[in-house]
Structure 1
């Protein structure tokens, strides 16, 4: 059994994780459910980050003994998969697409961004946890329906879904980092002085020209929209 807080052995078996009933394998009737335990882990990660999510902390959160949790999630690796799928339930699965697949993808991306901002640990978790659970698969089905008018084959549609999710996760991770940096005026001023010095040293003329151009709106929403439009509008529908 892995020590508290460790990720455990790599390679979660998706059939074992998602298709077996939500109950311990043996013993008396459980006092908790996998859903309750996962929700507690999500709440802990939202408040304190992924590093705070250990089996011991989650057990304390639900008022259980730590050993009892291993019947539901044998290690932190499994728990993280459960957490990712849990928050995927916040994303749409039943809305009827408009037929404008680019517009629908942009709307989906905005919903993903809002979800990841609510759960700042999610971009990092998505980079390593890719065993789709039932909620994730329901959302994927929704995206594939939205992409139907594009006339793409199945592989291309799956690639676009992966590309869109990776874009949103990467952008939100950068957004969160910038928000932290903005709370340190001294650091921001130092970075600005450094770039000004580099732009005038004569060795980076293209950078100097770029930095001298009129600035774009820096509001997070406006920045996200610009980047998202470049991504979606550049997708090939052939």
Structure 2
């Protein structure tokens, strides 16, 4: 009898408070749904940021590939001398022939579009020192390309009167920037090997797999 009364009491409580229980259930479902939406939004935002950082990394590496050719072209432009020199016209015509050869190998318009893209991404997704480093790296390439395209040293003398860095130095900088970007992407140091590690693997394992040693 007592057990029946307890069951009756529970049923009566549920009946009397049905609306209240329904409200609590709805609120609970809403809270859980909101939390899930927020988490999904955060995950999506993180994936977008990671994707943009990876694109910045790719652009940094892409630009460095063309640097040596452009740097050599700049050095040839510098040998043309001043516009009032007796042999300037002949020298600049020879330079333009060299520029034409380079343009057959490097699409300078596409390269400039990469520079614009890197500027937008660097400004939008990087912060503090790394943003400054990437944007200045980008600006250097912009200045270099503009100079060799215009066949005049005006832009170079304005922004890089000291001269552009050697290929070795710019590659060293690009490597440092790549390391920082990898860490920011959260690939971390565990995914980063030293140059000596690659050489050791190449000489002792990779070449053996290829059966060349």
* TM-score with structure 2 setting the length: 0.24
Higher helix share: 2
Indicate the structure (1 or 2) with the bigger Cα radius of gyration.
Answer: 2
